[in-house]
Amino acid sequence: MRTRGSNHYDIIFLGHMCYDEITPYQGQTRVAPGSAVLCGALAAVRTGKRVAVAAKMAPADASILQPLRDAGIDVYLIPAAETTWSVVMHPVPDVDVRQLILKKSAGLIRLEEVPPLEARCLHLAGISDTEFDLNLIAGLARRGYSLSADMQSFVRQVDPVTRAVVFKDVPDKRELVRQLAKIKLDAVEAEVLTGTADIEEAARLFEMWGCPETIITRADGVLARVAGKTYFEKFSNRNLTGRTGRGDTTFAAYLARRLDHGAADALKFAAALVSIKMETPGPFSGTLEDVLVRMKEQPSGSNERSAL
């Protein structure tokens, strides 16, 4: 890549901006701007990193990008015929049980649509399999990016008729994983791809398949597998009113902190930040100082674990 310039960023978040239509258990439906791009970028920029977003969406809906710009994020709009519309329904009190429908999609992002920006890392922040393919990933790798991806972008597969999102294995998963420096999953996605409900064992498998750094979230906390070592941090949230966006926020916080800290510290930082986020609906709106205080309040952790 070229020398550092005005278009050089710490992290670029690439994916769809969308509208989230969320129906909580026995609650009122609300619609608000959402996406892994939104939650991730707002978390990362509040850690002090220079962040850009390249978002595919309908230009007519560009007003929903304003919170990103207000936070100091540079935004590059990739035009699409329509903006993605995601429906999330919670049919039972357990907030980790969700029914997902993708009413609309802005469509696959092509390599030639991605602006020629410089970055220390580029994160594929998708919410379904309608955003990225292997051709795009291979092309971005050729550009020299250090790539990370949320594996929900491939495991969450949209039925072309019903638009229901179903979780399915990915035939090209090993080829995909080999091209990524970091991957993020939740426990369900990890089991779909590896066949094991043991998140530590799943992380070891991803390591064997060629990805050197794996982050897996579950209801109680987050695991990292880095350079043959496993770390785990518990969440410390006091409620779950801001559950939507948990994984996106966790990984963005980890990715930002990891640029200049070790894996154990980055994991503790991410767990603290997302714990604050989960106590309030919407993207993370706290400060770096809030996160550092929560880190001190959390029990001592991030020790290397041989088992969970």
pLDDT tens-digit map of 50-106: 999 999 999 999 999 999 999 999 999 999 999 999 998 888 887 678 889 999 999
The pLDDT of residue 6? 61
| Secondary structure letter of residue 228 according to DSSP | T
Whole-angstrom Cα Rg for the chain: 18
Distance separating alpha carbons of residues 153 and 136, to the nearest angstrom = 13
Distance separating alpha carbons of residues 18 and 34, to the nearest angstrom = 5
List the alpha helices (DSSP H) in the chain.
36-45, 66-70, 134-142, 152-155, 173-178, 187-194, 199-209, 246-258, 263-277, 288-297
The pLDDT of residue 300? 60
Q: What angle do CA 215, 50, 177 make, to 5 degrees?
A: 30
The pLDDT of residue 305? 53
The pLDDT of residue 23? 84
The pLDDT of residue 25? 80
pLDDT tens-digit map of 10-34: 999 999 999 999 888 888 888 889 8
Residue with tokens 């072309």: 160
Fold of 8-297: UDP-N-acetylmuramoyl-L-alanine:D-glutamate ligase (3.40.1190)
| Secondary structure letter of residue 2 according to DSSP | P
| In the chain, where the domains are located | 8-297
Q: What angle do CA 8, 9, 11 make, to 5 degrees?
A: 150
Q: Give the residues of the chain that fall short of pLDDT 50.
A: 1-4, 306-307
